[in-house]
Structure 1
Amino acid sequence: MHIGEAAQHTGTTPRLLRYYEQKGLLVPGRSENGYREYDENALGRIVQIRDLLQAGLPTRLIQQILPCISTPHSSIRFSGLTPEMVALLEAEQARLTTRIDCLTRNRDAIADYLAALRETNGQQEHTPGRTEEASV
């Protein structure tokens, strides 16, 4: 499929797919007329790249780890793994854990704030993750 179709299937834009290619994250095939062509494997990789970017990983790190996480664990290639890369991955894992903890605290604080507002306004409603029923 061409770039527009690939973008639509993966919830991205053609511009973003060209950016992924420019950064070395994605290498689409080319048709005889030079158009980019994306197969099912490329679509999966696009979604994976998008998810990693949304998680906060920089493209330079994604480029380094993508070959390892794009393959089944039994066939991971460790030939390029250096102590620096291990340290970089461990630091990124710690950063993500800290971010997840912060997001969890903020989500819970917002849920508590909304519950208090609803209770104050007499509009107690069921909120996701809570078991209280609205009073009748």
Structure 2
Amino acid sequence: MRIGELAERAGTTPRALRYYEQLGLLPARRAGNGYRAYGEEDLRLLRQIRTLQDFGFGLEETRPFVECLQAGHPHGDSCPASLEVYRRKLAELDECITRLQEVRTQVAGQFARAERERDELAAGAGAGGEPPQCEWAARSAVEWEES
């Protein structure tokens, strides 16, 4: 099959395929007429690359999976190098999850504090007192009245 058909079947563009060729992820074979020629195995490689990219893997991280398939293994993650990439990616994801949980805890704390302060202000206004205004709002009201 030619580059346009492969790109369409793989859900990508011919430009991306040429880039993958430059990186050595996709074999560059030419037919007798000079056109690039691809087979079902190339489609399989591209599907592996695209799936890993959808999971957040960089192109270089896909290389061991591609090489594993090219070596004749039934799955791109059958080789030790692919398993090591999985191991590193899982550690990276765990680190991101930990950071996100820390940020979430901080945001939840800020939210709870802000709600408490809002409720305290509302309670003060309900008791006949004026809730304090922020400095900017008070200054803007005075400036508006003076103009």
TM more than 0.5: yes
Residue 30 of structure 2 corresponds to 30
1:66 counterpart = 2:92: no
Q: Deviations over 1:22-79 (max 9, x none)?
A: 1111104210122111111111111111111121112222113322356226xx565x
Contact 1:28/1:42, CA 8 A, preserved across alignment: no
Secondary structure class of the residue paired with 1:42: helix
Higher percent of residues as helix: 2
Residue 12 of structure 2 corresponds to 12
TM-score, normalised to structure 1, is 0.56
1:94 counterpart = 2:91: yes
Q: Percent identity?
A: 40
**Per chain length, whose mean CA-contact separation is higher, i.e. which structure has more relative contact order (CA < 8 Å, sep 6+)?**
1
Amino acid of the residue matched to residue 91 of structure 2? A
Contact 1:7/1:13, CA 8 A, preserved across alignment: yes
Partners of 1:55 and 1:77 lie apart in 2 by 19
Amino acid of the residue matched to residue 4 of structure 1? G
Q: Structure 1: where are the runs of 5+ without partners?
A: 103-136
Partners of 1:98 and 1:69 lie apart in 2 by 29
Instruction: Indicate how the Cα distance of structure 1 residues 28 and 99 shifts in structure 2: closer, same or farther if over 3 A, else same.
Output: farther
Contact 1:30/1:36, CA 8 A, preserved across alignment: yes
Q: Structure 2: where are the runs of 5+ without partners?
A: 100-147
Amino acid of the residue matched to residue 63 of structure 2? Q
TM-score, normalised to structure 2, is 0.52
Secondary structure class of the residue paired with 2:87: helix
Secondary structure class of the residue paired with 2:34: coil
Partners of 1:61 and 1:101 lie apart in 2 by 22
Amino acid of the residue matched to residue 33 of structure 1? N
Amino acid of the residue matched to residue 8 of structure 2? Q
Residue 52 of structure 1 corresponds to 52
Partners of 2:74 and 2:98 lie apart in 1 by 29
Alpha-carbon RMSD: 3.0
Structure with higher Rg: it is 2
Amino acid of the residue matched to residue 89 of structure 2? E
Instruction: Indicate how the Cα distance of structure 1 residues 65 and 31 shifts in structure 2: closer, same or farther if over 3 A, else same.
Output: same
Instruction: Indicate how the Cα distance of structure 1 residues 87 and 43 shifts in structure 2: closer, same or farther if over 3 A, else same.
Output: closer
Instruction: Indicate how the Cα distance of structure 1 residues 94 and 18 shifts in structure 2: closer, same or farther if over 3 A, else same.
Output: same
